[in-house]
Amino acid sequence: MADYKGQSNRYATALTKHYVLFADSGVLHLLSNKEAEERYLLNSAIDNLSLKDIKDDYQLFAGNGNATHPYKTHNRQVKICKILHLDLFHYDCGQETTDAVSFKGEKYFVDLFNQYQKEIIPDVNRLLKKFNVSYILIEETVIPNIDMTKFSNINIVYQDRGFVIYKISMKDIN
């Protein structure tokens, strides 16, 4: 698990037996969009995530392909439709969108925010176990006042020059 916006993930070695829950540094992964979203939301459990944060971070969890190509493809289709004057044949060319967030739609982000508040935060410890999270690495200079009380069975195992590593004991979590 990483700290705010995944900054500490960049310090974790990629090829270790301790896998990273979520990495925002351009890592390719083989998992479903739904799982990437869930991992992003769980990774953000140490922070008080807002709807705006989820929108701002869309490219982090959706990936460049999902966050860029669909809306640009849509915009090209609208432009071509208008150039060919297909609207004269009663074809709705649609409207161009300004970015990936507006193309994806408000409902998508509201649903993710609701999932974060209603499913992730109340069940954070079980989800940590689901994804086999053993450690949480925090860079305190990025987020200085973290409330770790929402995590059960957690102990500091290392602390030095702004970094704190917490060990999570999963034996008592259902």
More confident residue, 87 or 26: 87
* 97 located within any domain: yes
pLDDT at 7 over 50: no
**Contact (Cβ atoms closer than 8 angstroms) between residue 4 and residue 142:** yes
* 147 located within any domain: yes
Q: 149: which DSSP letter? A: G
What is the total count of domains within the chain? 1
* 173 located within any domain: no
For residue 135, give Cα distances in angstroms to 33, 35, 90.
24, 20, 58
Q: What is the pLDDT of residues 134-143, one digit of tens each?
A: 888 888 777 7
Gap between the Cα atoms of 173 and 143, Å rounded: 27
**pLDDT at residue 17, as a whole number:** 57
* 12 located within any domain: yes
pLDDT at 20 over 80: no
Gap between the Cα atoms of 170 and 174, Å rounded: 8
H-state helical runs in the chain? 33-43, 51-56, 58-83, 100-104, 106-115, 124-130
Q: Whole domain around residue 90: which residue ranges?
A: 4-168
Q: Among the ranges 14-28, 88-102, 139-153, which has the highest mean pLDDT value?
A: 88-102
Gap between the Cα atoms of 66 and 128, Å rounded: 26
**Terminal-residue alpha carbon distance, the chain:** 19
Q: What is the pLDDT of residues 42-78, one digit of tens each?
A: 988 887 899 999 999 998 888 888 888 899 999 999 9
Six-digit token pair at 48? 């008080």
Q: What is the pLDDT of residues 127-136, one digit of tens each?
A: 988 888 888 8
Q: What is the pLDDT of residues 94-119, one digit of tens each?
A: 999 889 999 999 999 999 999 999 99
Gap between the Cα atoms of 89 and 92, Å rounded: 9
* 149 located within any domain: yes
Gap between the Cα atoms of 150 and 138, Å rounded: 15
